[in-house]
Amino acid sequence: MCGIVGYIGRDRAGSVMVDGLKRLEYRGYDSSGVAVWTEEGIKQTKRTGRVAELEAALGDDLGGTLGISHTRWATHGDVTEANAHPHTSSDGKIALVHNGVIENYVGMKTFLTEKGYTFQSQTDTEALCNLIAYHYAKEPEVAGKNRFLESVRKSLRHVEGTYGIAALCTDCPGELIGARKGSPLILGLGEGENILASDANALTHCTRNVVYLEDNEVVHLTDDDFSITTVSSKSVEAVIHQVDWDTSEAELGDYDHFMQKEIFEQPTSLENGMRGRFSDDGSTAVFGGLNLNSQELRQVDRILFLACGTAWHSCLVAEYLIERFARIPVEVEYASEFRYRNAPLDKNTLVIAISQSGETIDTLGALREAKRKGYRTLAINNSVGSTIARESDGGIYQHAGPEIGVASTKAFTSQIMICAMLALYLGRLRDLSYGDGVAIVKALKKVPAQVEEILKQNEKIATVAKKYASYEDCLFLGRQLMFPIALEGALKLKEISYIHAEGYPAAEMKHGPIALISEDCPSVFLATSGEVFSKSLANAQEVKARKGKVICIASEGCDIPEGLADDTILVPECHEIVQPILMTIPIQLFSYHVALERGCDVDKPRNLAKSVTVE
């Protein structure tokens, strides 16, 4: 969940690293630091807080030809300068930055303490740093053999857990080493300079040519060359990719916050997700990367979705839509639970993992477990070169553009759009009629314009949000397709405003949550036209009878009795398959404005980071 930037090349290491850390700060912002090689030894600067604190401490000292840097989301140890990365070995020889968790670090630390190495932090990372120094001190000088590289390899063979690392050595002014296992690391290839980063965001301002390291690979960099081997010393032939998204998409532009920008980018991200993905006759969706033919897909008799967090909510929407339109049974599992269960699955089960980053550690672990047992796997994600995208049998790329705000917005609606198109595609392979297919395609194509219409209510929704910003509890309630959106609404509000919020099926309110209803606990009802609309109104009446405030987000044309809702927000009437997308926009804006009113940092909410790459 932390961010890494390493640099070797021209005399601008500090500036490249600080710029890269700013672009990665959504991955962790407890503390940050840089270490630069100098003739006098490793020069290190670390600060707690945001990258701006580090930048101020560095001042004009942004040169150097070799360095490593890190922005931290704490796992082991408090948020202190001592625990901030980079870490330096107690003999001063090795500097290291690390993402991931070293599970056997206590044993390492005990061993190294007995050998005379000392520790200044509470982190697992410092144990690995000292272990590399230990092996470096023992490694003999042999012609044709890189002593630094061998010491890193030997150390990594002892590691249990996950890592993405970048390391430098005082004796090696022209060398930078990186390695990964379970935590992403990318090599950026420049002209007279090379960069290591945990995310492409950190290096696309310098180069578009990248190499995605695989697990158990070690890269050795100079300013104009690189080589990749495995931890066990086998050579690896690198595959160079080009990052093709516009780097301006990761810039704030004229917006106040990335979350605001990404909410308002949704008409474009939804349009991009559909582009080129409908058949010529306009009756079905078309996907080019599934790597499963029609006959194989018709043999699927169960689908298992795996995800975490917001992506898990999109899976719940997919469950409703695929069962409704394709008539295929669907199960949704938390990836973190599935990977440690021995769940019985039918041989004709198709496993689909959803992850915006494509690096979510639990989702990746669950995907690998499914593949290990021989199941066909697909991925829906927003990062072409991600580990999940590379390791799945096929997949669908979202084309939503980079999402920087920690609380997911455009990636979530993009995932729902893809799932709706997948439900259409699978339905048309089975018994969904041509006419129904045409109606769904028309409905999907209208969505970007309908989202534009909802965004025009931004000021109205801001006014509603201000009324409820002082409350400390909130319920989100919806039925059928609106239940996952209620869960997502509650998650968004608690993520960025720190208000305790819960999402429930509206009918379940009577089975416990109704005890929370009072004048101090407002309820957000998600009500769409259809067979359960009257039931939703009845649930809202139960809240009003107990003096609870009611905020009603409803489809236009719904007949809401006068006096039932304290505040009403309307979305355009639409086909049921796209209702979840349209109903999501008001809850995103509501949460955003509530958080602003409470003075919260919406882009960097406390204790959270964008991509969860540690367990």
Q: For residue 19, what are its two tokens?
A: 């710029």
Mean pLDDT in residue range 390-399: 94
Separation of first and last alpha carbons in the chain = 10
| 457-602 placed in CATH 3.40.50.10490 | yes
**Distance of alpha carbon 516 from alpha carbon 285, whole angstroms:** 44
Neighbours of 303 (CB within 10 A): 23
pLDDT at 613: 61
Tens-digit pLDDT profile for residues 352-361:
999 998 888 8
358: left (phi over 0), alpha (psi -120 to 50) or beta: left
Rounded to an integer, what distance in angstroms lies between the CA atom of residue 314 and that of residue 485? 9
Return the sign of the alpha-carbon dihedral for residues 155, 156, 157, 159: positive
Put the strands of the sheet holding 349-355 in their side by side order: 330-334, 302-307, 349-355, 376-381, 394-397
What confidence tens digit (pLDDT) does each residue in 4-51 have?
999 999 999 999 999 999 988 877 778 999 999 998 889 999 999 999
Strands 523-527 and 226-230: unpaired
The CATH architecture to which 3-244 belongs is: 4-Layer Sandwich (3.60)
What are the sequence ranges of the domains in the chain?
3-244, 247-456, 457-602
Asked whether the beta carbons of 173 and 185 are under 8 A apart, the reply is: no
| Band of pLDDT at residue 249, cut at 50, 70 and 90 | low
Q: What share of the chain is helix, strand, coil (3-state, %, to 5)?
A: 40, 25, 40
462-472 b/e (C-beta count within 10 Å ≥ 16 → b): bebbeebbebe
Question: What's the pLDDT score for residue 245?
Answer: 63
For residue 4, give the 3-state DSSP assignment.
Answer: strand
Q: Which three-class secondary structure state does DSSP give residue 11?
A: coil
Query: What is the distance, to the nearest Å, from the Cα of residue 137 to the centroid of all Cα atoms in its chain?
Result: 39
On the question of pLDDT at 557 being above 90, the answer is no
pLDDT in tens, 368-385: 999 999 999 999 999 888
- In this prediction, residue 86 carries a pLDDT of 96
Q: Identify the bridge partners of residue 82 per DSSP, sorted by sequence position.
A: none
H-only helix segments in 209-360: 258-264, 266-274, 294-298, 309-325, 335-338
340 Cβ neighbours under 8 A, 6+ residues apart: none
87-101, 287-301, 546-560: which has the minimum mean pLDDT?
546-560
**Which residue is it, tokens 């129904």?**
436
Query: Packing angle between helix 51-58 and helix 13-24, nearest 10 degrees?
Result: 160
Non-local (6+) Cβ contacts of 531 within 8 A are none
- Dist. CA 574–CA 297, nearest whole Å: 29
- Per residue in 81-130, pLDDT tens? 999 999 999 999 999 999 999 999 999 999 999 999 999 999 999 999 99
What confidence tens digit (pLDDT) does each residue in 185-197 have? Answer: 999 999 999 999 9
- Euclidean distance between CA atoms 474 and 543, whole angstroms: 12
Distance from C-alpha of 339 to C-alpha of 475, rounded to nearest angstrom: 31
Query: What is the predicted pLDDT for the residue at 522?
Result: 94
Supply the residues annotated as catalytic. Answer: 2, 610
Q: Which amino acid is at 370?
A: A
Reported as a single tens digit per residue, the pLDDT across 40-87 is 889 999 999 999 999 999 998 888 999 999 998 777 788 899 999 999
pLDDT at 247 over 60: no
Instruction: Please tell me if the domain spanning 3-244 has the same topology as the one spanning 247-456.
Output: no
CATH ID of 247-456, from 3.30.70.141, 3.30.420.40, 3.90.1300.10, 3.40.50.10490? 3.40.50.10490
Contact 354, 305 (CB under 8 A): yes
| 50 DSSP β-pair partners | none
Instruction: Read off the DSSP letter of residue 530.
Output: S
Q: What gap in Å lies between CA 37 and CA 402, rounded to an integer? A: 32
Dist CA 581 CA 529 (whole Å): 15
User: What percent of the chain lies above the pLDDT cut of 70?
Assistant: 97
Q: Is 555:528 a contact under the CB 8 Å cutoff?
A: yes
Mean pLDDT of the chain: 92
Answer whether 31's CB lies under 8 Å from 48's CB: yes
**What is the separation of C-alpha 100 from the centre of its chain, rounded to a whole number of angstroms?**
15
Band (429; pLDDT cuts 50, 70, 90)? very high
Confidence at 608, pLDDT banded by 50, 70, 90: confident
Q: What average pLDDT does this structure show over 430-459?
A: 97
How far are the Cα atoms of 69, 101, 323 from residue 613, in angstroms, in the given order? Answer: 18, 9, 31
1 touches 609 (CB < 8 A): yes
